[in-house]
Amino acid sequence: MKVSSELPSRERSEPSECASRVLLLTRILAVPPRRSRVAKPRVSRAFATYPGMPGWPDPNPEGVTYRARYATHPALLFVMLFLCLADNGHAGVNLWTDRGPGIAEITRLTATATSQAMFAGVGNRTFRSTNRGDSWELLYALERSGNVRVICDPRDPNLLYAVNGISISRSTDKGDTWKVLGQGFSALAGFGVDPVKPRVFYAWFAGQRIARSTDEGLTWTTILTDDSYFQSFSIDQKVPGRLFAATGERLLISEDRGESWREIEVPVPIREMVSFASDPKRLYALGETEVLRSTDGGYSWKGLDLDSGSSVYDLAARPGSTDELYLARGWHLFRSTDGGDSWTQTPFPFSVKSLLFDSDDRGLLYAGTGSGLFGVRVDVDGWLSVSAGFEGLRGGQVNAVALDPTREGRVYAAGGQGFHISTDSGVSWRSSNTGLDEPIAIEAIEVDPRNPSVLFLASSWVYRSTDSGQSWQKVAGINSIHDIQVDPRDSNVVYAAYGYIPWTFFVSKPLPKTQYGPQGAVYKSTDGGATWAIPSSQVKDLYVSSLAIDPADSLVLYAATSKGAYKSTDAGSTWQVTVDGYCTQVVLSPTDRRNVVVLGQETVNSSTDAGATWVTHRRPWSGYDDYFTRLAINPREPRTIYAGTTRRGVLRSTDSGATWETVNSGFPRSPYPQLAYYAGVRDIRIGADGTIWAGTFANGLQSLTPVDALFVPRVAHERQQQWTGIALANRGSQTRTVQITLLNPEGRPVWGIRNPVPVELRPGEQKTLLTEDLYPFFPEMSGWWRIDGTGNEVTAFFSTLSPDLEVFDTASADSATGDQFVFPNLVPGGKTQFWIVNPGPTETEVWFELKDSAGYLKHPVVRRTIVDQGVLVQTVEEIFRNVQVTQSDYVEFRTDEPVVGLAYLEDSSRFVSLLPAQAIADASSLLFAPQFADGPAVTTSVSLMSVDPDPGTVRVRWIDDGGEIIGRERDVTLTPYGTVQIDSASFFGLPPGSGRSGYLQIASAWVRLTGSVRFRDPDGEKFASMLPLVHEGRRSLVFSHLISTSDFFTGLAIVNPGEQAAELTLEVLRADGSVLATKQEQLSAHQRLSRLLTEYFPQLKGQSLTSGTIRIASDQEVAAFALFGPYSLHSLAAIPAQ
């Protein structure tokens, strides 16, 4: 913005130094007059200690204390009570968190030579266990690498390799850290290491090529090409030099590491090879539905006798045996004791995808299934017994969710193959399938509201439990049930939604009418589910998918069917159509019986008069397989609806379905990138505490607790040294009273002060507060603020400052949390201090990684723990000891619970910058810095990094206000997880100090990016300020503070990154919320407005404005920054739009 290089020149008389400091501070933060302090009576010195603040000094050594006044203050008791009530189990605070059972679909299993480490593939994620499968952890280092296959070195248990299609990486510490050996490959399908020559690698490229490297991947030589497509490539681990390559119905064998090949005809295309450790000549080959056997090293083959048709997934040979085999095929696990001549189906009840024997315990077989990992004991009485499923491998399919209405923390989940119970809000789970005939696809769970120990399962059959799901009994007489509802006033009355489409429905030839078309009905039981009848024929032959009962009048019943929504007022005896068209779900508000919502695949129909009238809203997008799946009404606010979708995660509407916004912070993408619908939502429920539970197609059970709060991760106060300030602005139409609670690093409310502090904000009002005035009797304190009651309408930013403003910078107070972040900036020779807040009710683990500019680790991973509602405060040197930190290094960290992070950066001159931790989930292929200047007063630098495991080219453009490129655009190649610094105009081919000003556009078609921009004076002697790069535009923007006086300015830069002109409305509001000035602006595509506030609004010149807010409304998405400070530029603060 123009202030950066073209500052207005003003003549003024300078006040005294002391007066200047008071004036500056007052004008920036609008400090209210200091109130007089009234001395309190002397009390016992026992009150002079500070529980909850270990090591804090007595602020009043003379013995006069103000502690007694607040020790039993009702407000303090309210805080403690509030914190207890705010415990939302273990759901993720403002972040979707996986809370489901360990039922992920395991498609790959491998282990080191001694089974010290095991690896399981779940879609494009890789998990590791170091205790033989008892517990598992996600390998975050590989999470962003796509569909990774881990290969264990046959000799060294610490040595691993990972292949992801375009690169090969190696780990020497069982997967903790990885180094890229080669990248830029095309269609890399497989990889292997020679069993006796560890420097010799082999790579199989899907298509027509197999290559060999003799220098650990530095160079490659093609050793085999073929016009046909290679289906598989294998290295014989027992016969050195023997290789196998399968293409079509041919097998190519080399005995000399690929120098020569011999072609063998095979009966079917080979997908995978399996060898015996005890007999090198015994080989097995897996086709799509066949298994072949060779007893001469692969030169002749025989097909084994199997029933035709079922897919073959994996084959495992028991160590030490030449004849005992286990075959994963179709929906069953088979066993052979004669080398595959005959097979017996085992009683193992799950569909197996992968098999692996423990190398030390030869009787233990690991089975990866569609519902998790199991340990199969094969030597108990000569037959099979199944251990419990292993925890930690979360994910998989969850079709149905239910919450116990009377027992807090009790959650039920049902997947494609079983029923699961948690009594601690999803922290731990156990399966409960006693009485269920076989693994079944459960569609719904119903808890009797009058007697929660009674449960029903809806599936191909109906099951009933009278002991809270410990055991089950099949209910005779009905099947193909999609929903069950128990009368809230009479537990004997139960309704079931029946819907069935016969297979003959899909046959093209004419059939009798009774053999095709959907069938359905509403069943009713009056004896608790023992017997059933159809009370009405009016909804017969309609596919019934959902039911709802009026909680106040159980005679009123709703049904969603294939031809509309029906309503009954006589307990199902008669029905009337109330909504036409295909309907999938009907829901009643738990707190307002007249509020009814009917869901169609493309519509949401809402009624506020029990179905007498309806308002229909269509989905705001198109696509035949992109639709609503399930919805739930917020029990605290009936107009707020959460809806699951097939491809868009979870949406929220606060106006009964008229408009929608995504609520997907932390919501996982499909584990199979090519199948986006695998991230689809199958069920959604909302607890009484507001926690949302979403069962998904392949990502397990996700949980989110929306918290109406803002988080300030750093509050530090040291009298006469450093203060913390906060500016609050209410952009809503209702008065809001927020509660500002100060918590200490141990996560407890600070005692001895007024805590929380209520602040009332009328519509449009803005207030600024300082720790010096909030807590006048405390000389020093440290912790974090939680600001409750914002109604998602109050915005805020906070400042750290010294009384003389030698220390001064700002950052946003935000409600967003995350679990994977980067700190892109470090200050060698100064102070880099991290403040990481855990706002949830459960402690969290934090893993820190220090990386260099090429993305390589410089220090082993460091682990820390943050207590519930606590804050971790440590410098980079305290975390990473005995390592030299450079300016191009960065820190990446991850947590197992949602957190908020901030970097406090203090250079050698004591100039301070505040930079929020950058969430990896927010990384984007397109970023903007709305302000980039290289002038005599302010210089700008940008730190840019890639969050992806692949190299990629990034194009950087410096664009002026008119949309023209300044200097030359630059293409920069970033290494995996690499960084680049843009320090001055010389980056764009211009001499430093060019005086040019504009904005940066940073784009890549290959990688996702994150980073920050830093403003400072050219000599580094006056100020420094940082902001995150902008990753998304907005149509509504708020700046929670402004200042415009004869001494101070506010500058505002607005960028239109789109292809269409933007119509802007700018408003300046006084602190009381009244409109001071407004104007219209048009901003053409790719152009920028960069002006002082008094240049946008000339009528404000000469006015002394020390508080207020700025609002921007646009019909297109725009990006914006604001800067404010004194014209002398001895300090400067940058704030982002909110």
| pLDDT, tens digit (0-9, with 9 covering 90-100), for 1005-1049 | 989 999 999 888 877 777 778 888 988 888 999 888 888 888 888
User: On the CB side of 149, how many CA atoms lie within 13 Å of its CA?
Assistant: 12
Tell me the chain's radius of gyration from C-alpha atoms: 33
Identity at 1092, one-letter amino acid code: L
pLDDT band at 673; cut points 50, 70, 90? low
Tell me the percentage of the chain whose pLDDT exceeds 70. Answer: 87
Greatest C-alpha distance within the chain: 102
Most confident range, picked from 220-234, 617-631, 888-902: 888-902
CA distance 274 to 287: 12
Place of tokens 């035709």: 308
Domains of the chain (ranges, CATH numbers): 44-88+722-801 (2.60.290), 135-359 (2.130.10.10), 398-705 (2.130.10.10)
Give yes or no for residue 8 having a pLDDT over 70. no
Tokens of 1123: 């800067």
Pairwise CA distance, residues 159 & 170, whole Å: 7
CA distances for 423 relative to 137, 328, 372, 430, angstroms: 22, 34, 20, 9
| Adjacent-strand bridge partners of 354 | 368
| pLDDT, averaged across the chain | 83
The token duo for 252 is 């190519």
Task: Encode burial over 100-117: b for 16+ CB neighbours within 10 A, e otherwise.
Answer: bbbbbbbbbbbbbeebbb
Cβ neighbours, 10 Å, residue 885: 20
Q: Supply the pLDDT for residue 384.
A: 56
Spatial distance between the Cα atoms of 84 and 689, rounded to a whole number of angstroms = 12
CA-closest candidate to residue 1021, choices 1133, 1132, 886, 911 = 911
Q: Bridge-partner residues for 883, per DSSP?
A: none
Contact between 838 and 747 (Cβ < 8 Å): yes
Question: Phi and psi for 2 in degrees, rounded to 5?
Answer: -60, -25
> Which two three-digit tokens encode residue 1038?
């708020």
Whole-number pLDDT of residue 721? 80
Which of these, 676, 649, 699, 695, lies nearest to 125 by C-alpha position?
A: 699
Confidence band of 102 (pLDDT split at 50, 70, 90): confident
Q: Is the pLDDT of residue 524 over 50?
A: yes
What phi and psi, each to the nearest 5 degrees, are found at residue 238? -110, -25
pLDDT band at 1073 (very low <50, low <70, confident <90, very high): confident
789: its two tokens? 């009651």
pLDDT recorded at residue 572: 93
By residue count, the chain amounts to 1138
d(CA 638, CA 657): 11
Contacts (Cβ under 8 Å, ≥6 apart) of 1019: none
Question: How far apart are the C-alpha atoms of 632 and 546, rounded to whole Å?
Answer: 13
Per-residue pLDDT at 910: 64
How many Å apart are CA 918 and CA 911, to the nearest integer? 21
Residue 928, token pair as written in the block: 């903007």
385 band by pLDDT with thresholds 50, 70 and 90? low
Cα first-last separation, the chain: 19
Of residues 807 and 1000, more confidently modeled: 1000
The amino acid that residue 63 corresponds to is: G
**Beta-bridge mates of residue 704:** 92, 692
pLDDT of residue 106: 86
**Is the bond preceding residue 32 a cis peptide, omega within 30 degrees?**
no
Q: Which residue in 461, 543, 450 sits closest to 490, CA to CA?
A: 450
Q: What average pLDDT does this structure show over 364-383? A: 79
Pairing state of beta strands 736-743 and 723-730? Answer: unpaired
Q: Which residue has the higher pLDDT, 83 or 537?
A: 537
Distance, in Å, from the CA atom of 111 to the CA atom of 132, rounded to the nearest integer, reads 9
| Residues forming a β-bridge with 413 | 401, 420
* Rounded (10°) CA dihedral 446, 448, 453, 458: -20
> Of the ranges 133-137, 245-249, 1134-1138, which is most confident?
245-249
> Higher pLDDT residue, 739 or 511?
739
pTM over 0.85: no
Burial of residue 75, with CB atoms counted within 10 A of its CB: 0-12 exposed, 13-18 middle, 19 or more buried: middle
Tokens 């799901």 correspond to 469
Whether residue 226 has pLDDT greater than 70: yes
Distance CA 334, CA 342 (A): 10
| pLDDT score for 9 | 34
Range in 65-74, 181-190, 319-328 the model is least confident about: 65-74
